[in-house]
């Protein structure tokens, strides 16, 4: 038997504790594990901190953790001080 996935669209809010609160109850009976995709409004800007967090945990960059990629030392280059 095939594993067929269904999609249910629901709206909600991310609260101050970063938890998803749906506007209305879902039309399914639980408990049950589900996958959730969050669609942000286009005018929502993701900050630098969020981008860096996403990039640092993305498995696409795991190759950078390999010893042969660690080619620089603290003696290479000059320190950069942001003047903002």
Q: 31: how many CB neighbours lie within 10 A of its CB?
A: 5
pLDDT tens track for 3-36: 778 889 999 999 999 899 999 999 999 899 998 9
Average of per-residue pLDDT across 29-57:
85
Confidence of residue 72 (pLDDT cuts 50, 70, 90): confident
Longest dimension (CA), the chain: 62
């Amino acid at each position: 038997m095939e594993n067929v996935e269904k999609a249910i669209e629901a709206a909600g809010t991310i609260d101050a504790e970063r938890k998803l609160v749906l506007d209305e109850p879902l039309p399914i009976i639980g408990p049950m594990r589900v996958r959730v995709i969050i669609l942000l409004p286009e005018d929502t800007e993701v900050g630098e901190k969020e981008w860096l967090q996403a990039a640092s945990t993305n498995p696409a960059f795991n190759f950078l953790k390999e010893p042969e990629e660690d080619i620089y030392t603290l003696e290479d280059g000059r320190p950069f001080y942001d003047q903002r």
